[in-house]
Amino acid sequence: MLARVANCLYWMGRYVERTEHLARYLNVQYFSTLDAPMSQNKDFVLRSIMNMAGIQYELDEPIIEEDVLVKVAFDTENSASIIAAVNAGRENARSIRSVISSELWESINKYYLFMQNYPIDVFKTQGLYDFCMQVIQHCAIIKSTVNSTLIHDDVYSCIMLGIHLERANQVTRILSNKLYDIEFLTLGEENHPIENYQYTITLKVLQAFDMSHRYYKAPPTRQSTCEFLIGNKYFTRSIGYNMEQVKEILKSLSQKKIVVQDSLEFKIGKLANYFKYVEYHEIADDLQGFLHRALDEIYKLHTLLEKEYMQI
């Protein structure tokens, strides 16, 4: 496969996954104010959304709700916005139409047209929930079409490589962002009443609340939430699960290569096993530091991937 084709497939998968996570964060975090404790005000929620979307702001500047929501969803100047990622994903798909199915191209193009035609005035006033739900549904359709209409060969592997690496990245960022929110709200006070509520929000953002409750049979705590989202090998949105998938995909792409120390395959195997076997007590005292190091490793892995498989 040409490096250019592999690069487009990989980024197409990443952009689809990115928009889904941002839409879920926007939706769950924004509407959490409807039943949140009084200390969780709208400005706090909007700042949390801006942090997740990479929007720069001054702490003393006034927060205008409409501006924040539009920047996150429809600002083409913000490369981390939903519309910017959709546009980039569609452009990647357009350039490799010959290697993907017509059904996959149509589902991606429908997503693009939905974004281009969604009335921003409606979004500002009453359409946030509808918009986010439709984004999530479009992403689900695209990923289902990838799974059901492509030959599961190198083309499929490159797309899934992007999806799983982006998911690991987004889960790490979301968990880190929510831990900052908790620190801000509780001022570092342990066992603060609002803390467990924020863990519920974190799990709901990642569509993990029901499965976490089924797994632990108890309300979420700091330990159970982190264990479930970091190392649970059975949950498809945990960091460990997705790093394991990246490892298996790379193994299939490089079957004839000898894995040596410092090779890409060696590094992802080591990283996947670390997430699989890490214990909460080992990271409890410095969770933010652990998550920042995890993000650094994911970024390094992406750089190695591009260098080895996608350098044009």
The one-letter amino acid code at 291 reads L
Query: Whole-model pTM?
Result: 0.93
What residues contact residue 65 under an 8 Å CB cut-off, 6+ apart?
Answer: 42, 46
pLDDT at residue 59, as a whole number: 76
- Mean pLDDT, to the nearest integer, of 250-265? 70
- Mean pLDDT, to the nearest integer, of 100-126? 95
pLDDT at 118 exceeding the cut of 90: yes
Per residue in 127-184, pLDDT (tens digit) is 999 999 999 999 999 999 999 999 999 999 999 999 999 999 999 999 999 999 988 8
Q: For residue 78, what are the CA distances in angstroms to 73, 83, 217, 278? A: 9, 9, 41, 35
- Higher pLDDT residue, 2 or 91? 91
pLDDT at residue 310, as a whole number: 79
pLDDT at residue 232, as a whole number: 94
pLDDT at residue 97, as a whole number: 94
What is the Cα–Cα distance from 101 to 295, expressed in whole angstroms? 33
pLDDT at residue 27, as a whole number: 94
Per residue in 25-80, pLDDT (tens digit) is 999 998 887 765 545 578 888 999 999 988 888 777 888 889 999 999 999 988 88
pLDDT at 123 exceeding the cut of 70: yes
Residue 114: band (very low, low, confident or very high) from pLDDT cuts 50, 70, 90: very high
pLDDT at residue 201, as a whole number: 93
Q: What is the DSSP letter of 62?
A: P
Residue 19: band (very low, low, confident or very high) from pLDDT cuts 50, 70, 90: very high
pLDDT at residue 37, as a whole number: 57
Nearest to 231 by CA among 219, 244, 240: 240
In the chain, the percentage of residues whose pLDDT exceeds 90 is 70
- Mean pLDDT, to the nearest integer, of 96-122? 96
- Angle, CA 1 vertex, CA 261 and CA 271 arms, to 5°: 30
Render the burial of 95-133: b for 16+ CB within 10 Å, e for the rest: ebeebbbeebbebbeebbeebeebeeeebbeebbeebbe
pLDDT at residue 187, as a whole number: 75
